[in-house]
Structure 1
């Protein structure tokens, strides 16, 4: 028996946190625990009721406060509690965490050129791409297994980590630089299970990416980038 989008297929919504004070200062964050800015709080408050209309059954978050604070807004709007998990953290960026983009470009121009094009293996002490993929995939797989068929789960994390997660879940790959651009603050991706996917095929199909505003309807059949 075939399944139709929105009928028996699980949905994952992957949301990036709101703007932080360090985003506003153009400072490289990585796993430094920077707080949301006033604008970030406003962004989180605005996206929360939008995602609540999808009636999620679980909301998970990175344990870094910028994501956890954003997730708390979503969870409250949906009548849920947030579960935090460090596996949803951003890339660790080693020696460059806390550096402004301007200083990085001035002091290490060749390395910075790699950084801004997504070649983060050039960053001293940076977490590996494989390591990020493995922890995100494991965490999101556990989240998805808690979602009943036909229902939705939300994960709140970070721009680069989510870019890696989407590529891994949808295409079964991880590349440097990624084929995906980073999502904006408090913007999100929507993934749905493939109907009758074969064992050698990715479980998920991308239905929306870097989306803001109204959520994707449950019966929307367009697959973006799948």
Structure 2
């Protein structure tokens, strides 16, 4: 049995303005750094064997804040990256329909096999991405069977993992939260993922209260 604290990175300026990031390496903003520090304090009392993150800086910076309080090295794995959206990356959500009306309609319909126009990189289909994301989490969990892992990744990865754990089709509308720097506790038994706690961000509110804000 492997326990994983699966975390979405802290906020970035592009999150705040609803601009699609994908594989573009966008750093945390001031709020994201505050969230990462609050997350680190919230997880400081947990027994943890390893900390691993996506190699994109918004995830790695969030994970580094946690790693420092646990005095553990940070490992990175590119397979934990967000989905690659091709030419969608860098655009505001509101701009997608104007620039790519057909692809935007496929995106809104959650077409699992649609491949958006290429940008700096070739876009992944939803199906390809979900297979990669869930496969990466399960592979890492299996490699470290019996350990407790903090894993920092991206919203799309958390979405795919939650769906896999609950048997929700990737084409179904999302009816669950995927929040920046929230704590999501899952378990891998060698065959399936189980969600123990999801989208707990009480530590972020507590951190604000401590500062009198």
- Identify whether the pair has TM-score above 0.5, normalized to the shorter chain: yes
Show structure 2 runs of 5+ residues with no match. Answer: 204-213
Match of 1:158 among 154, 157, 165: 154
SS at match of 1:183: coil
The CA distance in 2 between the partners of 1:148 and 1:91, in whole Å, is 26
1:139 deviates by 2.6
- Establish whether residue 79 from structure 1 lines up as the match of residue 71 from structure 2: yes
1:21 deviates by 1.7
Match of 2:116 among 123, 138, 153: 123
The CA distance in 2 between the partners of 1:102 and 1:147, in whole Å, is 41
Match of 1:18 among 10, 14, 33: 10
The match for 1:48 is 40
Larger deviation: 202-211 or 176-185?
A: 176-185
Q: Is the 1:119–1:177 Cα contact (8 Å) retained in structure 2? A: no
1:161 deviates by 1.8
- Establish whether residue 36 from structure 1 lines up as the match of residue 28 from structure 2: yes
Number of aligned residue pairs: 198
Larger deviation: 118-127 or 202-211?
A: 118-127
Match of 1:184 among 179, 184, 197: 179
Mark the CA change 1:128 to 1:112 in structure 2 (over 3 Å): closer, same or farther.
closer
Give matches, 1:122-141, under 5 Å: 123-125=116-118, 126-141=123-138
Mark the CA change 1:177 to 1:31 in structure 2 (over 3 Å): closer, same or farther.
farther
Q: Deviations over 1:96-123 (max 9, x none)?
A: 1001122224444564455356447363
1:180 deviates by 5.1
The CA distance in 2 between the partners of 1:14 and 1:172, in whole Å, is 18
Q: Is the 1:183–1:210 Cα contact (8 Å) retained in structure 2? A: yes
Q: TM-score, normalised by structure 2?
A: 0.80
Mark the CA change 1:32 to 1:177 in structure 2 (over 3 Å): closer, same or farther.
farther
Match of 2:142 among 142, 145, 149: 145
1:211 deviates by 1.5
Q: TM-score, normalised by structure 1?
A: 0.76
Match of 1:175 among 167, 170, 178: 170
Show structure 1 runs of 5+ residues with no match. Answer: 1-8, 215-226
The match for 2:211 is none
The match for 1:224 is none
Bigger fraction of residues in helix: 2
Root-mean-square deviation over aligned CA pairs:
2.6
1:30 deviates by 0.7
